[in-house]
Amino acid sequence: MIPPRPTILAATEWLSARARWHPLEFVFWIVAFAAIWLMPERHLILTEIAWLALFALSLDLILGYAGIISLGHAAFFGFGGYIAALLAKYEIVNEPVLALLIAGVGAMALGFVTSFLVLRGSDLTRLMVTLGVALLLRELANRYGWLTGGADGLQGAIIQPLFGTFRFDMFGHTGYAYSVTVLFILFLIARRLVNSPFGLSLMSVKGNPLRSSAIGISVDARLVAIYTIAAGYAGIAGALLAQTTAFASLEMFSFDRSADLLLVLIIGGAGYLYGGMIGAIIFKVMQDYLSALTPQYWPFWIGLVLVVIVLVGRDRITTWTTPFRRLAARLDWRAARRAAAASNEGQKP
Amino acid sequence: MTVVLETINLAKRFTGIIATNDVSLRIEKGARHALIGPNGAGKTTLINLLTGVMKPSGGRILLDGEDISDVPTHKRVRLGIVRTFQINQLFGDLTPLETIGLAVSERRGQGLDWWRIVGSRPDLVSESVGILERFHLTDVIEERTAVLPYGKQRLLEIAVAIACRPRVLLLDEPAAGVPEDERHEILSAVAALPDDVTVLLIEHDMDIVFSFADRISVLVNGALFVEGTPEEVARDARVKAVYLGEEPVDA
Amino acid sequence: MLTILFDGIAYGMLLFVLASGLAVTLGLMNFVNLAHGSFAMAGGYITVVLVNWLGFPFFASLPLAFAASAVIGFIFERTLYVHVYRKPHLDQVLFTIGLVFMSVAALDYVMGSSQVFVQVPDYLQGQFNFFGVGIGRYRLLIIVICGLLTIALQFILAGTRFGSRLRAAVDDSRVARGLGINVNRIFAFTFAFGSGLAGLGGALGVEILGLDPTFPLKFMIYFLIVVTVGGTSSITGPFLASLLLGISDVAGKYYVPTLGSFVIYTIMIVVLIWRPQGLFSRASSR
């Protein structure tokens, strides 16, 4: 057997470095879980952050990784939310976790069917089609009021205790623990996914579909796959909202929700998994503060942030993170040690 | 010799233009076949037809005698028809290592593998590095492709195609736009292609064509004009006439 | 039945005046301006202020609504939009959504969130009967005004030097630049004019569409349908698309009210999938 050459070692090291856990990631999740015990008075807003982060993560999978612009991602969010609320209201499925899974699978099915509509066409057509699908669903939910409660929203759903033991209380304690756990599990899956060969192929499809097909990638199939997965994530995010508030409304499908979501992702930065999480935290804190001042004029501030972000430049906006990233790199002592080891390896004859 | 790739009366019409006119081309296994012709003769259109980027308006394409006219591009790649592009078509945000690794993993059918981490298959990494070594790209494997020098990008174009393990390789002007001092690197890479790979080369530079090809087809106005060995084509008065811009006497 | 057709035509022609500016800007700069409706809303509110508060006659307020929206459009184009033309579509979308949200909240702040109406002169109210067809006086006015505008637009585009430059710039802005056409100036002018038309449409539309601060959001999809279904290569495309949309929306809501806007959304998606270049645009050579 031929001994591995240093370049191969270096290449393996470099390829797998991305997927390795950074110390700050541990910190992030430890803080997120510690908040279950440490910040009980903030659980309601933390729950909102958790499902919003999941929703943004879902959009990131299609926009940041696969390059599909969507103005109607709320379609899947609302669909999942209504499924969860209906299952609870009519006592079809009483276990919240099972209902959550069903909502996710339902949204995935919708995502799969509608994914064929976004395969072709320019950004503008994709915008319109995604927007159109969300509007259609909203219209449907409005029309079939006997089932969905129409414009009043779906009221009267009672969410049974989690695993039959943990009741959803009005302070959101159970809700937050539940939401952050779901977020973490789905984040882990997404993290594997984007660092896998499949994730790499998504980036290639985003970067150059012509070349992707010239190396044997079925561009359409990959887009269908990721759109379906992302729809499932969005559906679960919507179901989390519906379960933690025991309510679903037409507003879940609204254009504003899809547009807010774009903002969330853009604040945090698209194309890396923590973008949606950071964006969700900033967005909700901002919303909490500004809408306490003037709830009605909150959209003005969203709009202003969007305009400023674009005028300043999205790339430049995310440079505010550069000092943090440098700090992070310095903090990553394990990576430094490995890099040193690899370069020593390379110098040996 | 056996014919590996064949077209029968292949045609492509755009509104008002006939880009490919009744082309019947036979490419033999292991051949070094060059396709030449003046600008606008329809060479790149022919490649687009062979790879499935465009749908033919008429005629058929056979690979090993099987009709592949309706097979989509990515499946033709799996069957062994791989191309390079005249204008670089690379993944600007990926590194050469990721690009080649991706092509190798797709070729092995592991592209839908979404649980394994990139880089966790030692044999895949070593094959990728091997290809990068062959194309003298080892010193830049961790740089973003978009910032590489043009000559390196041209090499990567060919390396990506090789990573797909082609049976028939369609090279669309591999040395186009490469500065003189980096040219030999590309040409030696082309010359060093494995013997069992059949090559169809599109090229303007006659020096490259005559040093490389063992068979030459001349395409004029979308139609096959002359075909033969390099000596035959070099002697052919009509070919000279075409390249000098005169209408051939008996065409 | 004919009354519905008539109402649909009036509605469609109004949509055309509202959306035609968007069609030109989209075709000219490949710029996705989701905030087009905000300029229409500006025209609407200007009319409301002029007529209801300051006592201007309705007809005098229309040209003022046009001019004011055009000026607003021009200022926005020169100060803000110019920075966004070369950015990716995602940025354009974010930017114009931002403008929509800001305009919605700002008008809510200034004018309140409730729906407003404009006092239309008495002689424009009510219907008259014409061979058994109920004709709304106000809708007839809309058809006349919008019809004249359409003819004028067609004349400007087809008959004037500016029109031919504009068409050249739409067809291929690079070549047009090469020919010494100042594409930027053409674009600024067209943007202002299109905003003015939107403002005029907004002013005319107060009476039949209703006006409240969420107007740009509610009608965004309609404008987008007009330009995507009609295509951007001519103004006849958007014109026909507007008529089709107006008639099918009015008829759909009348005959199958349970489906609501379901019909038009479905039609839109089908058209987009079937003919991404637009139903009425010339076949693309791509």
Q: What's the pLDDT band for B19 if we cut at 50, 70, 90?
A: confident
Q: What's the pLDDT band for C3 if we cut at 50, 70, 90?
A: confident
CB contact under 8 A, A307 and C102: yes
Query: Is 70 exceeded by the pLDDT of residue A225?
Result: yes
Residues of A in contact with C225 (CB under 8 A): 128
Who wins on pLDDT, C121 or C82? C82
List, for residues B76-108, the tens digit of each pLDDT value: 999 999 999 988 899 988 999 999 999 999 998
A155 Cβ under 8 Å from any chain C Cβ: no
What is the percentage of chain C residues whose pLDDT exceeds 70? Answer: 94
Mean pLDDT computed over A196-209? 92
Mean pLDDT computed over C73-93? 88
Who wins on pLDDT, A3 or C92? C92
Who wins on pLDDT, B58 or C131? B58
Query: Is 70 exceeded by the pLDDT of residue A340?
Result: no
Query: Is 50 exceeded by the pLDDT of residue A269?
Result: yes
A254 Cβ under 8 Å from any chain C Cβ: no
Mean pLDDT computed over C228-243? 81
- Chain A residues 73-132 within an 8 A CB cutoff of chain C: 117, 120-125, 127-129, 131-132
Query: Is 60 exceeded by the pLDDT of residue A347?
Result: no
pLDDT of residue A3: 54
Mean pLDDT computed over A281-287? 91
Query: Is the distance from CB of A266 to CB of A314 less than 8 angstroms?
Result: yes
- Chain A residues 52-71 within an 8 A CB cutoff of chain C: 63, 69, 71
Mean pLDDT computed over C76-98? 88
Tell me which chain A residue has its CA closest to the CA of residue B112: A198
Query: Is the distance from CB of C176 to CB of C168 less than 8 angstroms?
Result: yes
A200 Cβ under 8 Å from any chain B Cβ: yes
Mean pLDDT lowest for which of A9-13, A244-248, A294-298?
A294-298
Choose the closest CB to A210 out of B89, B98, B141. B89
Distance CA B65, CA C90 (A): 47
Who wins on pLDDT, C101 or A325? C101
Q: What's the pLDDT band for A339 if we cut at 50, 70, 90?
A: low
CB contact under 8 A, C113 and A296: yes
pLDDT of residue A234: 97
> What stretches of B108-220 show up as alpha helix (H) in DSSP?
122-134, 150-163, 180-191, 206-212
Contacts (Cβ under 8 Å, ≥6 apart) of B174? B84, B154, B157, B158, B186, B190, B201, B203
3-state secondary structure of B95: coil
Mean pLDDT computed over A216-225? 93
Tell me which chain C residue has its CA closest to the CA of residue A314: C91
Query: Is 70 exceeded by the pLDDT of residue A6?
Result: no
Query: Is 50 exceeded by the pLDDT of residue A125?
Result: yes
pLDDT of residue A243: 93
Query: Is the distance from CB of A60 to CB of A262 less than 8 angstroms?
Result: no
Mean pLDDT computed over A60-84? 94
Distance CA C84, CA C42 (A): 22
Distance from CA of A196 to the nearest CA of B (A): 5
Instruction: Name the residue among B157, B29, B141 with its Cα closest to residue B85.
Output: B157
Query: Is 90 exceeded by the pLDDT of residue A277?
Result: yes
Q: Which two tokens stand for residue C164?
A: 């031919």
- Say how many Å lie between the first and final Cα of chain C, rounded: 42
Q: What's the pLDDT band for B250 if we cut at 50, 70, 90?
A: very low
pLDDT of residue A1: 47
Distance from CA of B84 to the nearest CA of A (A): 8
Q: Is the ipTM of this complex over 0.85?
A: yes
Residues of C in contact with A120 (CB under 8 A): 273, 276
Query: Is the distance from CB of B41 to CB of B204 less than 8 angstroms?
Result: no
**Residue A60 Cα to chain centre, angstroms:** 6
Mean pLDDT computed over C84-88? 85
Instruction: Name the residue among C128, C160, C157, C158 with its Cα closest to residue C141.
Output: C128
Distance CA C19, CA C40 (A): 9
CB contact under 8 A, B72 and A200: no
Query: Is 80 exceeded by the pLDDT of residue C99?
Result: yes
Mean pLDDT lowest for which of A62-76, A109-123, A305-319, B167-181?
A305-319
Q: Dihedral through CA C171, CA C173, CA C176, CA C182, nearest 10?
A: 130
Distance CA A60, CA A186 (A): 13
CB contact under 8 A, C265 and A302: no
Mean pLDDT lowest for which of A57-61, B118-122, C10-14, C282-286?
C282-286
pLDDT of residue B182: 82
- CA gyration radius, chain C: 19
pLDDT of residue C54: 87
Q: How many residues does chain B have?
A: 251
3-state secondary structure of B96: helix
Query: Is the distance from CB of B70 to CB of B33 less than 8 angstroms?
Result: no
Mean pLDDT computed over C31-47? 90
Query: Is the distance from CB of C176 to CB of C164 less than 8 angstroms?
Result: no
Q: What's the pLDDT band for C190 if we cut at 50, 70, 90?
A: confident
Who wins on pLDDT, C265 or A33? A33
- Say how many Å lie between the first and final Cα of chain A, rounded: 18
- Between CA B212 and CA B216, with CA B213 as vertex, the angle to 5 degrees is 150
Mean pLDDT computed over A106-112? 97
Average pLDDT of chain A, as a whole number:
86
Mean pLDDT computed over A36-57? 93
Who wins on pLDDT, C26 or A173? A173
Q: Which two tokens stand for residue A158?
A: 């009672």
Query: Is 50 exceeded by the pLDDT of residue B249?
Result: no
Mean pLDDT computed over C67-90? 89
List of domains in chain B: 3-243 (3.40.50.300)
- Between CA A242 and CA A252, with CA A247 as vertex, the angle to 5 degrees is 65
Mean pLDDT computed over B46-70? 91
| Report for A6-15, A277-286, B190-199: range of highest mean pLDDT | A277-286
Mean pLDDT computed over A266-294? 88
Mean pLDDT computed over B157-184? 89
Residues of A in contact with C259 (CB under 8 A): 139, 143
List, for residues B114-159, the tens digit of each pLDDT value: 888 888 888 888 899 999 988 888 888 888 999 998 888 999 999 9
Distance CA A147, CA A145 (A): 5
CB contact under 8 A, A300 and C105: yes
A1 Cβ under 8 Å from any chain B Cβ: no
Query: Is the distance from CB of A76 to CB of A110 less than 8 angstroms?
Result: yes
CB contact under 8 A, C89 and A125: no
CB contact under 8 A, A14 and B142: yes
HSE value, Cβ hemisphere, 13 Å, CA-based, for A251: 9
Q: What's the pLDDT band for C220 if we cut at 50, 70, 90?
A: confident
A192 Cβ under 8 Å from any chain B Cβ: yes
A305 Cβ under 8 Å from any chain C Cβ: yes
pLDDT of residue A9: 82
Tell me which chain A residue has its CA closest to the CA of residue C223: A128
Mean pLDDT computed over A120-130? 82
- Say how many Å lie between the first and final Cα of chain B, rounded: 30
Mean pLDDT lowest for which of A29-33, A133-137, C240-244?
C240-244
CB contact under 8 A, A201 and B94: no
Mean pLDDT computed over B223-227? 86
Strand order in the sheet with B32-36: B81-83, B168-172, B198-202, B32-36, B215-220, B223-228
